[in-house]
A and B are shown apart, each in its own frame.
Chain A
Amino acid sequence: MNMINKKYPLLFFGIFSFVIIFLVSETVYAIDENNDELIESAMNFIKMDRIDKAIPILEKVLEKDPNNLNVLKNLAVAYADSKMCNESIKLYDRILEIGSNSPEILYGKAVCFNNIGEPEKALLTLDKMGEKYSNNNSVLVTKANANIFLGEFKNAKQQYQKVLKNDPNNESANINMLLLSHHLKDHDLAKKYLVKLLGDNPKRIGSSCSADGCMDRIQFLFPMKDSENFEITAQIQIRNESNALIAVIDSKTINYTPHPIFEKILTNYDAEIIRNESGTFEVRKIIQKSKPVINSYFMDRTELFYKDYTILFAYNLAIPLESGDYITTEWLIKKKIVPE
């Protein structure tokens, strides 16, 4: 009997705890029945640029409410921003199935098709938007980008120019004209847009732009071999801290900037005039000594800067280095003199 009496308080406590937990969980669920709090927290993460945090929350909401248009749209954009365009396109298709045929959805889907390298589908999607939006700047830029992927450079140029006629400062169109000039090997066109974008005294825009342009996003640097006016070679000597010779490497794989600052800098160096069957050239030598940063793979590039802006960039050098090694780069720059 005594034992039974001892069990009552325990039993009572158990039932009480269960009821409390049940009530609390029900209340929480009732409070966020429309997922408003979750959506709000996801939107806050998006505002804070923490898309990685926002995505799982939006996915959770979508599980409970699969046809929530607002969540579908936000998640599609979040996927696209996280380079998950394949996922994005699936959501855009769901939105279109639900019935919202809004131009912004078609536009988002087309941008994603370009991002995953399916420009034909991007153009077809944009065509569905109808005549009304055909002259919209964003649509034109996306169409032009698709045309660049397809190698239709002439069409792309016309479309970017149309955008720039409507809005001369449209950043996307200006940057893409620079990219286009790279494909067209038109360094005069590049010069024009480099000045427009970077001004007369350019500075390096971001750390990732020190390498191959900006990894093809924006070609700040152009292959010297495509230039009609310059012939540039570099010779790099690598020595150890005791000044003993390790290697001598020649490089013709050089990128340069067609920005006028390059020619301006060259005037600071003495030139020798040479004439041969190819024409008349101003020849300059620029010698720089530097201590390269030891990276975890090998040294594969050397640069010549002007106020932190890369004007020459030789690559494919591939030399394993150790601390104490230094390099001497001799740039030999031949500029063709065009008779007036």
Chain B
Amino acid sequence: MNILESKSFLTYLISIFSLFVVGLTLLSIIFPALLISNFSYHSNNLEIFEIGYNAPVILLCNFIIIGFGIAYYKNKLPTTLQTPISKILQKQISKKLSIVILLIILLPYVVLTTPELFLDEGSQAPDYEIFLAAKEIFPFGKTTFTEATEQNDRYVRMVLLIASLEIFQNVKIIPFLGSIALLFTTYFLTKEITKNRLAGIISFLVLIQSYTFLKYDSFAMYENFWVLFYVLSLYLITKKFYASSISYALSIFTKAFTAIFLPLSIVFIFYSNLKSKTKLLIIMTYGVMFGIVIAIWTLDTSVYDNILRFDLAQIFVGLTKTSYQLRFDLLFLTSLLPLTLALIIRAKNGFKLATPILFLITGSIFAGAVVEMLSDHFVILPYRFVPTIVFFAIGVGALFSYKKEINHEHD
């Protein structure tokens, strides 16, 4: 099998996988009790086909968006709609204009979020007490407090939070700066993938409107550093590939959860425009980086090896969580299936980065379910969907470089 065939086979597999993940997510929105009643360890008398509260809106929006998308794709829209949409999707804007637009979006966001920085983290999040306990013994002190030990295994996060406290006497400032940096990294990654600044701005907008992003953007305990370093590692693959694994390592030492994103990164590398030799080199640096991460965890008698288990049913239970943990992210829930279909079509039409983007979206949803399968200590929490929202934003942005693709490969 040559590279082209492997890519198209992998695209096929990723499409099926993505439809499976998205399908189960939507199924749990429509029937919240269906999966849980089948995989529950709690004997129950649930009404399995009871309709979920979000179902009517989500279903209706899905039909409308998909219908509209099909009509556009088949050129069935009235010309008054078809032409302007096509123009917008392919519109390029100047660097100056994009900077102005980004500032116009960013300024109100910063102004409106700044008051949150003066809220007391301790009364907002009980985990702050764990952080303080961890800080007292950071980095290598011993404690019987497992949660504090786990916090101290996240060296980069601890250093950044302690720095925020020491420099600004406010634990929230550096996390908030991290969230702003995440917005810009999302913009640059989308722009790099699509070669279109407007696409970058769209992804910036989609991320900044997200309920989940806005909810946790200034929380120190649910900071976005790990997402920032991970998204940055993807961006660096295309820009300074030798630094990508360093950024990935920083992400893992901020939150070990991103270690499970490795297949997502590998697929991204595989589909990138880099030369085969460079791709191999990046994968080798990733291998070395993972070796170092594991060595550090082993030397530091990390908490992670003590909390593993295997429970396959938790994959399905874990997948139901997207439906309610992102319940207020209506744009995400209503557009997930249409976007999945659109990316599959774009991949089929020759936009090869559509496949890794799709895999980033659905793989990051699935990663949470895998963690649930492997551990009862770590569970899916709403802020762990921030990477999914970022990839979703990139996916939406990627539609804005739409051209009638020709199915060809450059590799």
Interfacial residues, chain A to chain B (CB-CB below 8 A): 83, 85, 115-119, 148-150, 179, 183, 208, 211-212, 215-216, 233-235, 238-240, 242, 244-250, 252-253, 295-298, 300, 316, 318-320, 322, 330, 332
Contacts and interface: CB of A to CB of B under 8 A. Distances in A.
A318 B222 CA distance: 13
A183 B145 CA distance: 11
Contacts of A116: 136-137, 141
9 contacts: A149-B143, A150-B142, A183-B144, A234-B42, A235-B40, A246-B327, A247-B327, A298-B325, A320-B215
Nearest to B47: A245
A142 B37 CA distance: 50
Interface of B is mostly: loop
Interface string B121-139: 0001110011011001100
Nearest 8 A/B pairs, CB to CB: A117-B141, A117-B137, A244-B53, A247-B324, A233-B42, A216-B145, A235-B42, A117-B142
Nearest to B145: A216
A211 to B, nearest CB: 6
A330 B325 contact: no
Contacts of A319: 324-325
Interface string B311-353: 0000001001101110110000000000000000000000000
Contacts of A244: 51-53
B261 to A, nearest CB: 20
B43 interface: yes
Contacts of B321: 318
Nearest to A215: B129
Interface stretch (B95-103, B163-171, B379-387): B379-387
Given A83-B132, A238-B324, A252-B41, A216 B144 contact: yes
Contact of A245 (B51, B137, B221, B383): B51
Interface residues of B, number: 52
Interface string B347-391: 000000000000000000000000000001001111100000000
B308 interface: no
B144 A296 contact: no
Given A296-B124, A298-B381, A215 B222 contact: no
Interface of B: 32-33, 36-37, 40-44, 46, 50-54, 119, 124-126, 129-130, 132-133, 136-137, 140-145, 147-148, 215-216, 219, 221-222, 317, 320-321, 323-325, 327-328, 376, 379-383
A330 to B, nearest CB: 7
Contacts of A119: 142
Contacts of A297: 124-125, 215-216, 219, 221-222, 383
